[in-house]
Amino acid sequence: MAGSVNDVVEEARRLFRSSFGGLDPEVAVCAPGRVNLIGEHTDYNQGFVLPMALPLVTVMVGSKSSDQNVSIITLTEAVEDPRRVDFVLSEDGASLSPGQPSWANYIKGVLHHYRASPLPGFRAVVASSVPLGGGLSSSASLEVAVYTFLQQLCPDDGDMVAKALVCQQAEHTHAGVPCGIMDQFVSVMAKKDHALLIDCRTLEGTLVPLKDPKLVILITNSNVRHSLTGSEYPTRRRQCEEAAAILGKGSLREATLQDLEGAKEQLDSVTLQRAHHVIEEIERTARAAEALKRGAYREFGKLMVESHNSLRDQYEVSCKELDELVSATLEVEGVYGSRMTGGGFGGCTVTLLEAEAVEKTMEHVKERYSGTPTFYITTPSDGARVLEL
């Protein structure tokens, strides 16, 4: 398990002091990564998703400066060099244009779209326990941490939905990823001991209790890196938009399987499959949230497996490693359900299981999986917050 929030903060503080003249940072914030329990590739189709925030977080510590100079250092080793960026906040915003190193674009995007002004210069260190490229939303946790940090330097009106939307917009404009709203929304809004059912059409969140002490959420990282800026994610998104247009709907959220059946002559076979997954997955997610509220874990687990199979066969975003992890996990007594989570082509699986089955599940997966897995035993955590220094 990755270090606690305090460990990550301490590491960031040490680097801040050694990099900026021995001074201690004045502000510390964190924002969590997330795991999506069910509802994959439904968010940009205005459907339902059911994520929860993780104890894994991105931390930002720093202090306001007396001028417009910004200096940011990242502790994340997996990013490309340089690990420090310096720029001046200019009136025309030119300094916030995307460029190299690419990790800084997420930060510049949030600065560019931030909802209050004038932003002061600042010095900051970013550190994270969210694995990069693992499908646990390291990018959204960074964006939301940056926004939360800026709120301490130059307060906005506190609108939480608007905050999530700015962080999403930053990813669209500065990182070039046309992501849905789920990751940023849950990183802002999550509550401890709850999953969050998000209606991506109305942007309403409903807390779903998930605090049975006999239950555990196990995340297994395949350690196969994925990148959403590749062609696959935008292609899937475009296919869904094409299907909705042919069906005469604003989005696939408004479509039914009957609609799809009626239009199948007009859709090519691949687009038909993509739409089929999305329409069923939206409905599956609503049913799964109800099952969780009732404590019907077997039913929930069955829906997770159906979701994985659909992502593998109809949406075609799984990969050999993820399929291997899911099938190995499902062989263990006490496992309710397991599925790939995140954009796909690598990253993690998420498993709902009895707490007492965790050890044997991890042992079994290690024996059966051809790669080297990393495990995170997690419970639903709080969203973005300011930390005491």
The angle formed by the CA atoms of residues 125, 128 and 131, to the nearest 5 degrees, is: 145
pLDDT tens over the chain, length 389 residues: 456 899 999 999 999 999 999 999 999 999 999 999 999 999 999 999 999 999 999 999 999 999 999 999 999 877 888 999 999 998 888 889 999 999 999 999 999 999 999 999 999 999 999 988 777 889 999 999 999 999 999 999 999 999 999 999 999 999 988 888 999 999 999 999 999 999 999 999 999 999 999 999 999 999 987 655 467 888 999 999 999 999 999 999 999 999 999 998 999 999 999 999 999 999 999 999 999 999 999 999 999 999 999 999 999 999 999 999 999 999 999 999 999 998 888 889 999 999 999 999 999 999 999 999 999 999 999 999 999 98
Eight-class DSSP state of 108: H
Judge contact between 70 and 20, C-beta under 8 A.
Answer: no
CA torsion, ordered 33, 181, 76, 343, to nearest 10 deg: 80
Domain boundaries along the sequence of the chain = 5-208+381-387, 209-378
Exposed, middle or buried by CB within 10 Å (0-12, 13-18, 19+), for 43?
buried
Eight-class DSSP state of 87: E
CATH 3.40.50.2300 fits 5-208+381-387, yes or no: no
What is residue 344's predicted lDDT score, i.e. its pLDDT?
Answer: 83
Q: State how far the Cα of 29 lies from the Cα of 384, in Å rounded to an integer.
A: 7
Eight-class DSSP state of 119: P
What is residue 189's predicted lDDT score, i.e. its pLDDT?
Answer: 97
Token pair of 101, please?
A: 């190193």
Residue 70 pairs in a beta bridge with 87, 122
Residues 6+ apart with CB under 8 A from 120: 64, 65, 68, 89, 153, 154
Q: State how far the Cα of 7 lies from the Cα of 366, in Å rounded to an integer.
A: 28
DSSP letter string over 261-295?
Answer: HHTTTTS-HHHHHHHHHHHHHHHHHHHHHHHHHHT
What is residue 236's predicted lDDT score, i.e. its pLDDT?
Answer: 93
Distance (Å) of CA 25 to CA 6, 60, 277: 14, 10, 48
Token pair of 322, please?
A: 């993820």
What is residue 230's predicted lDDT score, i.e. its pLDDT?
Answer: 62
Q: State how far the Cα of 104 lies from the Cα of 376, in Å rounded to an integer.
A: 27
What is residue 92's predicted lDDT score, i.e. its pLDDT?
Answer: 80
Q: State how far the Cα of 72 lies from the Cα of 65, in Å rounded to an integer.
A: 12
Judge contact between 182 and 27, C-beta under 8 A.
Answer: no
Judge contact between 339 and 349, C-beta under 8 A.
Answer: yes
Q: State how far the Cα of 244 lies from the Cα of 193, in Å rounded to an integer.
A: 36
The CATH T-level fold of domain 209-378 is Alpha-Beta Plaits (3.30.70)
What is residue 226's predicted lDDT score, i.e. its pLDDT?
Answer: 61
What is residue 2's predicted lDDT score, i.e. its pLDDT?
Answer: 57
- By annotation, the residues acting in catalysis are 183
What is residue 229's predicted lDDT score, i.e. its pLDDT?
Answer: 46
Q: State how far the Cα of 315 lies from the Cα of 349, in Å rounded to an integer.
A: 16
